[in-house]
């Protein structure tokens, strides 16, 4: 098997307490007692599997997490300061930010009611309920590729804050696609790295309210719960991903 399980581990943890001290305590930090925290972890393979497959189908399934974005849209900030790139390669902060913007835009193109505003860079780290919807790279536990955190209002069912952390234990890159190819039919030979847009587009699907799919019939969907280094096909939505985006209109 050259693919591996990106296990979705949804954890619904009522936040029993939240210490404002040290977090800046902004006005938009909600009362934690009114929120549910969802942590979605994507483990990396343990079998050393490497490879990439191209899209061969157009799955039409989707699954919902149960939450929706705020009706007015959501403003995100990017912390590009700690991205690990493969040895001998480089990425500029602008390239990283553009890759994140492009990943959000995929969902807005599928449903213009899904509004994402770029709020600039930040030094904030993803994973803290601090009023900043942060995308960052930081050291996560070994075995985790990325973690998306979503805090949802119990009263409204809407996202109050969402963060995505990518693990800088692993190498990341923004692959170019040669003329004559698309993200759905091209797997680069090198470098060995995760494509930022491939994984980010999947993670931001969780922000909008879509859950992972695990059926083999959905293997070419963006929300499929398996992934790979050098894989690009999750940059583009399958029919099911697009239908899901329409089903979660805020």
- The smaller minimum CB distance to Zn ion, of residues 212 and 218, is found at 212
Distance in Å, CB of 100 to Zn ion, minimum = 17
CB nearer to Zn ion: pick between 32 and 140 = 140
DSSP string, the chain: ---EE-----EEEE------TTS---TTPPPGGGEEEEEEEEEPPSS----------------B-S-B--TT-EEEEEE-TT----TT----HHHHHHHHHHHHHHHHHH-TTS-EEEEEE-S--TTS-SS-EEEEEE---TTEEEEEEEEEETTT-BEEEEEEEEETTS-EE-----TT--TTS----S--SEEHHHHHHHHHHHHHTB--B--GGGTTSTTBSEE-TT--GGGS--HHHHHHHHHT--
State in angstroms the smallest separation of the CB of 40 from Zn ion. Answer: 6
Q: How far is the CB of 230 from Zn ion (least distance, A)?
A: 19
Q: By Cβ distance, which residue is nearest to Zn ion?
A: 212
Considering the complex, state which of residue 137 and residue 224 has its C-beta at the smaller distance from Zn ion. 224
Interface contacts to Zn ion, rule CB under 5 A: 212
Q: Which is nearer to Zn ion, 136 or 148 (CB)?
A: 148
How far apart are CB 235 and Zn ion at their closest, in Å?
Answer: 15
Question: Considering beta carbons, is residue 36 or 212 the nearer one to Zn ion?
Answer: 212
Measured from the CB of residue 205, what is the shortest distance to Zn ion in angstroms? 7
């Amino acid at each position: 098997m050259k693919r591996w399980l990106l296990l979705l581990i949804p954890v619904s943890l009522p936040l029993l307490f939240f210490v404002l001290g040290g977090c800046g305590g902004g006005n938009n930090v909600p009362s934690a007692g009114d929120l549910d925290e969802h942590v979605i972890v994507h483990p990396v393979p343990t079998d050393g599997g490497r490879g990439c497959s191209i899209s061969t189908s157009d799955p039409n399934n989707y699954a919902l997490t149960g939450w929706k974005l705020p009706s007015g849209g959501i403003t995100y900030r990017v912390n590009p300061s700690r991205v690990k790139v493969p040895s001998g390669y480089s990425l500029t902060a602008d390239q990283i930010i553009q890759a994140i913007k492009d990943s959000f835009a995929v969902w807005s193109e599928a449903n213009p009611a899904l509004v994402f505003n770029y709020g600039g860079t930040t030094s904030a780290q993803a994973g803290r309920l601090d009023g900043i919807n942060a995308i960052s790279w930081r050291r996560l536990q070994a075995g985790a590729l990325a973690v998306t955190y979503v805090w949802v209002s119990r009263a409204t069912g809407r996202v109050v804050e969402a963060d995505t952390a990518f693990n800088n234990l692993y190498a990341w890159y923004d692959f170019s696609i040669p003329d004559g190819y698309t993200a759905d039919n091209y797997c680069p030979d090198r470098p060995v790295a995760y494509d930022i847009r491939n994984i980010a587009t999947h993670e931001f699907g969780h922000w909008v309210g879509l859950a992972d799919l695990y059926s083999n019939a959905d293997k070419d969907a963006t929300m499929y719960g398996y992934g790979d280094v050098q894989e690009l096909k999750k940059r583009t939505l399958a029919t099911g991903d697009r239908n899901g985006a329409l089903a979660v209109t805020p």
